[in-house]
Amino acid sequence: MLTNKQTTQSIINVIPNPVIIIDGKKIIMANKNFLEFFKMSSLEQFLQKYKCICDLFQDKDGYFSLSSIDENIIWTEHIYTSNKKHKVSILCNNNNSHLFHLSVEKINNNYLVVFTNITASEQNQQLENMAYHDHLTKIYNRQMFDKLYNKELANHKRYGDNLSLIMLDIDHFKQLNDAYGHDIGDIVLITLSELISNHLRENDVFARWGGEEFMILLPRTNVDIAYQKAEELRKIIDNFKNKIPHFTASFGVTAVTEYDKELSAFIRVDKAMYQAKVNRNEVVQL
C-alpha cells in the first residue's frame, strides 16, 4: 500500500483530470474529478456498482478494451509497457459515450491512471472526416480534392515539380444500375474505389468527383508516367473477377502545366476521358 495515503489523496485531487490509483485489479484511490464524472459520492459507492473501471471500456474500432488483450494480462501493465497511445470509450450513466486518452505511470507496485477527455476533439475529427470524405466509398470527396489540388498546384508553380491528373468514369454505369439495381451499383463504386486505392502511392490524391466519376492527382509525376498508371488501373479493373457483374472504366490523362489557368487542366482531362468513352475501356492522353 501507499505510504501517507492522505498526502497522496490531496495531490491527485489537485489534478484537473479524472485520476485513479489501482493495484492492477482494484481501484484503491480516486480523485474528486473521477468521482464527480461518475456522479459518485465516494470510491466505495463506485466499487459497489462497478467491479473495475476497465469493465466500462467499450469495444470500438481504434479504442482499447479488455477484449483486445489476453485475459491473463493486467490492463494497466499492458498500457504502461506499450509505446503507443491508448484511447478508451466509456459508457456513462446517461448512456452517452465519453472518449479518453489514458496515461499510466507506476508508483511502487500500483498504477496511476490519468484520463484525458478527448470527446470534443474526437467528435470534431469525425465531423471533419465526414465533411471531406465520400459517404459511400470512404475516399476523398470533391471538396477535399479541390483543397489538396490547390496546395499541390501552389507547389508546382513554386518548385516546377511535375503534376498530372487522371479522370475516370465507369462504363455503362446507368445500364448496370438498371439491370442489377442500385445496391449492386453501390458495390461496384466501392469495389472500384478499393481497387484503385490499393494501387496508388501514399501522396497521390484519389477522390469521387461525382456519380460514377473519379479523379486522381499525381504529384511529382510526369504525364507519361501518369498514362502508364492509368493503363495499369484500367487493366486491374477490367481483369477483376468477383460475384458482382464485370465492369470497366475509361480514363483521361493530362499534365498540369504553368500555362494552365483556373479550370483549364480539368477541362482538358475531362475531354480526354470522354474521348476514351467513345470506345470504352480505354485511356486517352491530352
The pLDDT of residue 67: 86
Classify residue 150: in a domain, yes or no.
Answer: yes
Q: Which of 71, 89, 119 is the last residue of a domain?
A: 119
CA gap 116, 98 in Å, rounded: 10
The reply to whether 113 and 179 lie within a common domain is no
Classify residue 272: in a domain, yes or no.
Answer: yes
The pLDDT of residue 93: 64
CATH at residue 53: 3.30.450.20
- Taking residue 276's Cβ as centre, other Cβ atoms within 10 Å add up to 25
Three cell numbers written together for 178: 438498371
CATH at residue 139: 3.30.70.270
pTM strictly above 0.95: no
Q: What percent of the chain has pLDDT over 70?
A: 95
| CB 31 within 8 Å of CB 18 | yes
The reply to whether 212 and 181 lie within a common domain is yes
The parent domain of residue 162 ranges over 131-285
CA gap 47, 38 in Å, rounded: 11
The reply to whether 113 and 154 lie within a common domain is no
Classify residue 217: in a domain, yes or no.
Answer: yes
The pLDDT of residue 99: 87
Classify residue 124: in a domain, yes or no.
Answer: no
The reply to whether 38 and 92 lie within a common domain is yes
CA nearest 283: which of 239, 218, 223, 241? 223
The reply to whether 159 and 45 lie within a common domain is no
The pLDDT of residue 211: 92
pLDDT tens-digit series, residues 123-166? 666 666 667 889 899 999 999 999 999 889 888 888 888 999 99
The two counts, helices (H) then strands (E), for the chain are 10, 10
CA gap 274, 270 in Å, rounded: 6
The pLDDT of residue 206: 97
Cβ-proximal residues to 221 (8 Å cutoff; 6+ apart), any chain: 162, 163, 164, 229
Helix (H, G, I), strand (E, B) or coil at 213: strand
Classify residue 172: in a domain, yes or no.
Answer: yes
Q: Which residues are the active-site residues? A: 212
The reply to whether 156 and 227 lie within a common domain is yes
Q: What is the dihedral of CA 171, 281, 270, 137, to 10 degrees?
A: 50
The reply to whether 25 and 163 lie within a common domain is no
CA gap 260, 257 in Å, rounded: 5
Helix (H, G, I), strand (E, B) or coil at 160: coil
CA gap 8, 140 in Å, rounded: 50
Q: In a 10 Å sphere around its CB, with 0-12 CB exposed, 13-18 middle and 19+ buried, how is residue 127 labelled?
A: exposed
CA gap 68, 59 in Å, rounded: 9
Q: Which of 119, 148, 167 is the last residue of a domain?
A: 119
The pLDDT of residue 27: 92
Residues of the chain with pLDDT below 50 are 1
Q: Which of 56, 91, 119 is the last residue of a domain?
A: 119
The reply to whether 221 and 264 lie within a common domain is yes
The reply to whether 139 and 239 lie within a common domain is yes
Cβ-proximal residues to 256 (8 Å cutoff; 6+ apart), any chain: 153, 156, 163, 164, 165, 265
The reply to whether 160 and 56 lie within a common domain is no
Classify residue 52: in a domain, yes or no.
Answer: yes
CA gap 242, 195 in Å, rounded: 12
Three cell numbers written together for 70: 489476453
Tell me the β-bridge partners of 217: 165, 205
The pLDDT of residue 5: 81
Q: Total structural domains in the chain?
A: 2
**What stretches of the chain show up as alpha helix (H) in DSSP?**
5-14, 32-37, 43-49, 75-81, 119-132, 142-159, 173-180, 182-197, 223-239, 264-276
Classify residue 126: in a domain, yes or no.
Answer: no
Q: How many Å from the N-terminal Cα to the C-terminal Cα in the chain?
A: 76
The reply to whether 98 and 175 lie within a common domain is no
Classify residue 125: in a domain, yes or no.
Answer: no
The reply to whether 97 and 180 lie within a common domain is no
